[in-house]
Structure 1
Amino acid sequence: MHKILFVFVVGARKINAKHRAMETMRKRSLNGLNKRTTAETELNPTDLLNLPKDESLQNVYQSNSAVGTKIEKMRQTYKGTPIFDAVVAIEIDKNGKLTGDASGMFVEGIQEDLPSAEPLITEEEALQIALKSENDVKFRRKLTNVKTEHYIYLGDKERAHSIYYVRYFISESKTPRRQAFIIDTKSGQILRKWNDLQTASCGARTYKAYGGNEKMGKIKYGETPYCLEPTIVGNMCFLENEFVRVIDMESTRDDSKNDTAKFECSKGYDDEVNGAYSPAIDAFFYGTQVGKMFREWFGSTPLREKVIIRVHYGSNMENAFWDGETTSFGDGQSTFYPLTSADVVGHEIGHGVTEQASGLVYHGESGGLNEAFSDILGEATEKYFKNNDMKVGDDIKKEGIFRDFRDPEIDGSSVGHVEDFHDSMDPHYSSGVYRRVFFVMIIQKGISIKQAVKVLLQANRVYWRERSGFEDAGCGVIKASYDVGQNPTPYVRALDDVGVTACDASHHIRAVETNVTYSDLTVSNEVKPLFRFNSPNWADVVTVRAASGSGDVKITLRVGTWQDDEVAREDLKIIEEGYNLVNIDRIANEVIYIEFSLEGENEYNDVSISVGYTCLEGYSGNDMQEYRLDCQS
């Protein structure tokens, strides 16, 4: 049987609570990959993991950190076939060398279970097996967004299987569904299946456009902050721009409809329904806000392609969903107004973000995490252009509570602590755990929504995997906070609030070597890169330098176990601070935490730093050999 190995940045190997039963398995030594080292290596990741010749690592995503390194997300493959849920994040310096820091999960011993990964059934045969299991054969010609991907998958008893990951969307049944299946490519057996439908510049005003609903009031677009950005050709306004395109489904589920919604600019879009003044205009505006937010806050786009929004989907449908390619919004009926509010539009686009980032499967803890990330992105969408309310869909729910961040349990179904979670929970309700985490981050710990979502997005894109659970995801959040130059302490405390014990990621802090210049750092009043320096026993005066062609950089030096501090690293023992150059006398045998920051609203992207020290004269100790090599060579 193959073995599962977890790679962590801590000195000792940590096992996710869900995998403790595997403690008796043979472990492979990970050498330099299970802790931060200061020695850089020329070895590639495959060599360091000691993978056999049939296995390798494939780059799937790359991100720049605030400390001048790149974080590469890599998926393990076996005989050229990707392994489901087996991804490792590896840090590389600007010269392309490994720093020695990695985390994630990979698998060994696949050959014992699976000598060959070649399928014995075709993709079409696998699809037919899936259709028959759901009595959907009659809809074969009407399926959309059909995806069949070949993976190696760990099934029951952790046995390796060659599988097809089959998904399709079907709108013709009574309720729209996006079915997902794990099908063994040798036997045709369905190993697992689930419903994967993941729900729920102004210039001159030259058009007439209104939105909103009876609950939130009527919105007049074209006036700040509701600046609409349609494409105008003559007197026609098209609901398309660089960020989003809207399709009016005209109360049908006709997937052949693909025309961009348009209207005569002087007359407005006449689609008032169920107490809402124009769901098409609302969806277009909020989708545009998501795109602008990603560009301005995160320097990226939400999806690889332009976001497609389908409005007036079906007849009185009280739902909204992501089907793998597009977002769709119903007009509601008795429970909801049309589901085109800011947070619901952001939520559905969020499902697309997750599918293209970590691919969190829509069941169990990973399903709750998937839903929570979408709820969080909905809140960020509200905050980006106006104000958020820490509630989900409050503007479109006609009566009562929909979902809440502060008190997830208030809806009668959600949970706000890991102890209350069970595997059969609907992801909408298990999402309460990380909804509560987000609330604590923002309201109790004072993190801005922009910075919190930046960290969660980094975690989703780099550290989370298909089956990441609450604990595993929390570890990714802590590491992501380092990557983007934020203090991890508030994130640790927010996770603790819901019963998630954050991993000790202190070794994820980049260690600096003496007399080496680290350049191209990003520094601002919010992005504060943190490094550590281990001063030897014979250190006399330690010198830290920072330089930028843009201006002065503040240097703050601390000692202590800052991660255990309840407030933040600012309350730890400051041993020295200053600008551009700082000297510390007699600071031997200490771990010094070095933070770089700015005051004001500026951001510098050209910061270089270095650390050095002088040797104590007349030093004597048990480590004299190292002392002589360092100080007398």
Structure 2
Amino acid sequence: MQKNYPAVALLVLGSAMFAPAQAQNGVQVKQRITAADGQHEMISFAEGKGYKAADADKMFREQLGLLKDETLVRRQTEKDELGFVNERYQQYYKGYKVENGDYLLHARQGEVQLINGRLERGMERVNTTPALSEAQALARAISFVGAKKYMWQDDQSFAPKGELVIVRNELGKGATAGKPTLAYKFNIYAQAPISRAFIYVDARSGDVVFKNDIIKHTAATGTFATAYSGSRSIADDYTGTTYRLREVTRGLGIETYNCKKSNSYTAAVDFTDADNSWTEYNNANFDNVAGDAHFGAQATYDYWKNVHGRNSYDNAGAKIKSYVHFDDAPGGAGYENAYWDGTRMTYGDGATRFRPLTSLDVCAHEIGHAVCEKTANLVYSNESGAMNEGFSDIWGAAVESYAVSNLGATSGGVKAKDTWLIGEEIDKQQAALRSMSNPNSQGQPAYYKGTYWATGTADNGGVHTNSGVLNYWFYLISQGKTGTNEKGLSFSVAALGITNAAKIAFRTESVYLTSSSNYAAARTGSIQAAKDLFGAGSTQEQAVTNAWYAVGVGAAYSGGGTTPPPTTGTYCASKGSNVSYEWIDYVKLGSIARTSSKDAGYYDGTATSTSIAAGSSQTISFSAGFASTAYTEYWKVYIDYNQDGDFTDSGELVVSGSSSSSGTLSGTFTVPATAKSGLTRLRVLMSDASATTSCNSYSYGETEDYSVNITGGAAIAAASAGSSANQIIGKEEGRGLELYPNPASDVVRISLPGGAKVASVKVVDLRGASVGGARYNDNGTLNVSGLAKGVYMLSISDGQKTFHTRFVKQ
């Protein structure tokens, strides 16, 4: 694949590199939490030293390093019970919406307290000119789904319309695999077999690059079990001649319909009764499950309203419609599923695996998907999809607990249920679909990437399996537990009760998560949610943190059960995925001196070390190798001064800058007197993207790790104190390509490293086209008198290595 950049990118030489601001115009960053891939997961500001909410665009540009053609557009604003104004911003590039690019702003009294979220990176490589028409792309989407019948064949309101967006190619097809691409987005609703998903078709190649399910199944062959709730008092209405399962006392209403074992919603009819006792519905046809669906929707609405102050799933009173006795193959053996399709609830009657799927926990679970859709909108695949399922299980458990505690004997008697089992009353083959208190018992992981963790693409990346981690975390903070996890680490989690636990979980989902959030982001968001609700250092914050530690996500709260300090072998991954065009070819610091070619994006040189003294001034040198064109590369050098296993503390980014030269660059830094004595990690990172930080899987470039032994430092160091990153300051004498004078009018002198002889010189303009008018002489001079005035790139070879540099003809 050809790598292209705007011409202006080639004009940068030795300029300052983007680095996250610690203080800009009086702004002071209080805390910056970085995700494993280097993105800024959360940034908080010191009291009274943040941005005004009205300056959101300026803030995002300064703190996140947005591209010129990149914007964040506010799409949602809500004020919560704590006085926070929470705003969701949608990422756009050149006017195109960037799917799953979300950032959140949280302000009080007009001042931003913190921001968090996740953006799509690599926008500058997206070709924003479509090559396919909408009709051609739709044909590809329909072919991908491959259904026998689609909903719009009966109801044109479901006819899909294409929207051009930018989305990451997650299906691994074509030249854009793993990268953002321009795509047509279609909402494809299939009737036989049932499915509904957003299908994304590459607007240039026609490949399907991403699929996000709208219908969230609860299991591969059947979702949730039914649990019956005894004799219930249900709200309905009276037409003057008959009673129907419709009511208008909750939001815009709750309605329950009978599909009569068909797959048609338009042909569905009301359940009716003459005397409003509904006793005759307890029959062989299981018509009584209509009451379960209706009551389940009512109880779920009541839970959200009374516990979280939320008016239906969208917080705007949305009507909740339920359809029971659904069968995707009329006259078949029975439909073993229940789902929310973005519009309504649908319940099958079950068959060999399940009884009718209208249990209370299934109702609450499926409506929980609707809540997620209106808040975090977690993408239904991999970790975000597992959390989408996990949050729905949390709401299934929470609504069950609420109904048993608050809708008991005085209102008809909800029979006791096992809060921590999902689908226990309708599963014919095993104890339950899932266990939140013991995920392993039903084949789910209780530890992040531990036993039973699902890998691969099945079940959208294991969404119904890997949800066990979030489920167990919620169980721990609700019930409390002291024990040892499967890695042999002891933990202790205080019991918060299910109501407080649910409030923390919902604030995490609704306020701090974005569509592409992973488990690490959930940890960060839930800790912040606990602080918001109960205060920093509270029992609740400690319990939330320790529960994540118990399930293998992050360290324990300081003071008991903490993870031991990492060795130089336990740092986050940093790797370039493509070294076809550029790589690190030289690093020197003290006795570390390595010349190399490409190392597949990462080189582990931690067996090589050098000593540096606390308080001393050091110079590190490095250079880039290029296959042909010299691109602007962004360099960052990190040292973990306090040996806490990361490079995010103040002063640990020691050198930062950019250059399009293949010559040797250098940067000088001072080792803080507070640096901790002993062996620690040195990381040298070169990337073509300015936003790349210490923990990234990035596109073009390379990372190299080494060890440094700090002498004369502190026995114990807190967060490193030091200046911000030093810029790259120049070339190491005798090693880099030298070109002078530059600019020049007639003759340019060329000097290669080590006095090597020039074998060839190529001159190209900023478009990459070769130009005439320049002639190299064997005496080391290049006659440029015949060139027009302007900027050119020179490629100079010694027969083994090619150097690239910018040249200005005046």
SS of 2:465's equivalent in the other structure is helix
The separation in 1 between residues aligned to 2:382 and 2:421, in whole angstroms, is 23
1:247 is the counterpart of 2:267:
no
In the TM superposition, what are the counterparts of 1:357-368 in structure 2 within 5 Å?
A: 357-368=375-386
In the TM superposition, what are the counterparts of 1:234-633 in structure 2 within 5 Å?
A: 234-241=240-247, 242=250, 243-257=253-267, 259-266=269-276, 268=278, 270-272=280-282, 276=286, 278-304=288-314, 305-314=318-327, 315=332, 316-386=334-404, 389=418, 390-402=420-432, 403-411=434-442, 413-420=443-450, 421-424=453-456, 425-444=461-480, 445-485=494-534, 487-501=540-554
2:735 maps to none
Whether contact under 8 Å (1:6, 1:14) holds in the other structure is no
Shift of 1:149: 4.7
Whether contact under 8 Å (1:245, 1:308) holds in the other structure is yes
Whether contact under 8 Å (1:145, 1:324) holds in the other structure is no
Change (3 A) 1:6 1:348: farther
SS of 1:419's equivalent in the other structure is coil
Shift of 1:349: 0.8
Whether contact under 8 Å (2:102, 2:515) holds in the other structure is no
**Which residue among 185, 192, 216 is the counterpart of 1:198?**
216
Shift of 1:109: 5.6
1:127 is the counterpart of 2:158:
no
Whether contact under 8 Å (1:274, 1:331) holds in the other structure is no
The separation in 1 between residues aligned to 2:163 and 2:504, in whole angstroms, is 29
2:190 maps to 170
Change (3 A) 1:6 1:321: farther
Shift of 1:393: 0.9
The separation in 2 between residues aligned to 1:447 and 1:303, in whole angstroms, is 25
- What is the one-letter code of the residue matched to 1:466? S
In the TM superposition, what are the counterparts of 1:87-98 in structure 2 within 5 Å?
A: 87-94=102-109, 96-98=110-112
1:46 is the counterpart of 2:57:
yes
Change (3 A) 1:151 1:267: same
Change (3 A) 1:349 1:67: closer
Q: Bigger radius of gyration, 1 or 2?
A: 2
**TM-score normalised per structure 1:** 0.67
C-alpha distance after superposition, 1:526-561 (max 9, x if no partner) = xxxxxxxxxxxxxxxxxxxxxxxxxxxxxxxxxxxx
Whether contact under 8 Å (1:239, 1:260) holds in the other structure is yes
The 10-residue stretch of structure 1 (327-336 or 60-69) with the greater mean CA deviation from structure 2? 60-69
Change (3 A) 1:154 1:218: closer
The separation in 2 between residues aligned to 1:149 and 1:6, in whole angstroms, is 34
Whether contact under 8 Å (2:227, 2:424) holds in the other structure is no
The separation in 2 between residues aligned to 1:103 and 1:151, in whole angstroms, is 23
**Which residue among 154, 158, 176 is the counterpart of 2:168?**
154
C-alpha distance after superposition, 1:128-183 (max 9, x if no partner) = 2111123237546258585755432233665331223333232322xx22244222
2:660 maps to none
**Which residue among 221, 234, 237 is the counterpart of 1:231?**
237
The separation in 1 between residues aligned to 2:100 and 2:312, in whole angstroms, is 22
2:14 maps to none
Whether contact under 8 Å (1:5, 1:108) holds in the other structure is no
SS of 2:357's equivalent in the other structure is coil
**TM-score normalised per structure 2:** 0.53
Aligned length: 471
Change (3 A) 1:41 1:380: same
Whether contact under 8 Å (1:408, 1:415) holds in the other structure is yes
Change (3 A) 1:422 1:341: closer
- What is the one-letter code of the residue matched to 1:300? R
C-alpha distance after superposition, 1:557-613 (max 9, x if no partner) = xxxxxxxxxxxxxxxxxxxxxxxxxxxxxxxxxxxxxxxxxxxxxxxxxxxxxxxxx
The separation in 2 between residues aligned to 1:255 and 1:7, in whole angstroms, is 55
2:147 maps to 136
Shift of 1:343: 0.2
Shift of 1:262: 2.9
- What is the one-letter code of the residue matched to 2:447? H
Change (3 A) 1:6 1:124: farther
1:589 maps to none
- What is the one-letter code of the residue matched to 1:472? A
Change (3 A) 1:239 1:141: same
The separation in 1 between residues aligned to 2:21 and 2:339, in whole angstroms, is 35
The 10-residue stretch of structure 1 (465-474 or 145-154) with the greater mean CA deviation from structure 2? 145-154
Shift of 1:5: 11
The separation in 1 between residues aligned to 2:241 and 2:168, in whole angstroms, is 57
- What is the one-letter code of the residue matched to 2:115? A
Whether contact under 8 Å (2:167, 2:210) holds in the other structure is no
Whether contact under 8 Å (2:118, 2:516) holds in the other structure is no
1:528 maps to none
Shift of 1:121: 3.9
RMSD (Å), alpha carbons: 3.5
C-alpha distance after superposition, 1:414-459 (max 9, x if no partner) = 1111122243253111111111111101111322322222222222
In the TM superposition, what are the counterparts of 1:174-193 in structure 2 within 5 Å?
A: 176-193=194-211
- Unaligned runs of 5+ residues in structure 2 are 6-16, 23-27, 170-175, 219-224, 406-416, 481-493, 559-810
SS of 1:49's equivalent in the other structure is helix
The separation in 2 between residues aligned to 1:145 and 1:330, in whole angstroms, is 25
- Unaligned runs of 5+ residues in structure 1 are 201-213, 222-226, 506-633
Whether contact under 8 Å (1:365, 1:469) holds in the other structure is yes
Change (3 A) 1:354 1:122: farther
SS of 2:378's equivalent in the other structure is coil
Change (3 A) 1:232 1:84: same
SS of 2:138's equivalent in the other structure is helix
The separation in 1 between residues aligned to 2:21 and 2:254, in whole angstroms, is 39
The separation in 2 between residues aligned to 1:146 and 1:451, in whole angstroms, is 42
1:82 maps to 97
Whether contact under 8 Å (1:343, 1:392) holds in the other structure is yes
- What is the one-letter code of the residue matched to 2:455? D
The separation in 1 between residues aligned to 2:551 and 2:94, in whole angstroms, is 41
Whether contact under 8 Å (1:142, 1:172) holds in the other structure is no
